[in-house]
Amino acid sequence: MRAALAGLACLLLAAPAAAQVRPFNCIGAEQLEDEVIAVPFARNSSTLGPAGRSAVATAAALVREEPGRLICVLGHADRSVGAETSTQIAARRARAVALRLAELGVERDRVRAEARVGAFSGRVDEPGARAVTIVLLPMR
């Protein structure tokens, strides 16, 4: 029994500590006007282009300066294609932005990525482009 407890203790001590999940959600984030960054994508693509990578780098630099800031990444669905397909593309785009933020040093537990329908769709100047919106939440 004692050997089993010692073995269990070794396993627990050897395992990496699980990251503390930061409790927050993105409800109402589309209402915020300050510190909103549009990340453009080409039609039917979930690959970040040069303009998108630049926008994500800007957001990453801002949040690295303030470690308490949390980020909502909102992928926007294009209503001109089927709702299911559009929502899937929006989710893939949001995930691509969240992964790029992590690559740039933003802790994953500071980011929530979601697909949205309709919100912010007019924020991208180019009519054929679609966007993900990065919303930097205010400090609590």
pTM more than 0.85: no
pLDDT at 79: 65
Asked if pLDDT for residue 21 goes beyond 90, the answer is no
* Helix axes of 83-103 and 50-65: crossing angle, nearest 10 degrees: 50
**Alpha-carbon gap, residue 42 to 99, rounded angstroms:** 18
Contacts of 72 (CB under 8 A, 6+ apart): 26, 29, 111, 112, 114, 134, 135, 137
Q: Provide the CATH topology of domain 2-136.
A: 60s Ribosomal Protein L30; Chain: A; (3.30.1330)
Q: Residue 3: is its pLDDT beyond 60? A: no
Q: Which residue has the higher pLDDT, 87 or 140?
A: 87
Digit-coded pLDDT (tens) for 92-140: 999 999 999 999 999 999 999 998 876 444 444 434 346 899 999 987 6
In tens, the pLDDT along 22-45 reads: 678 888 887 787 889 999 998 888
Paired tokens of 96: 């691509």
* Residue with more model confidence, 4 or 50: 50
Helices (H) and strands (E) in the chain, counts: 3, 4
Res. 87 pLDDT band, cuts 50 70 90 = confident
Domain ranges of the chain: 2-136
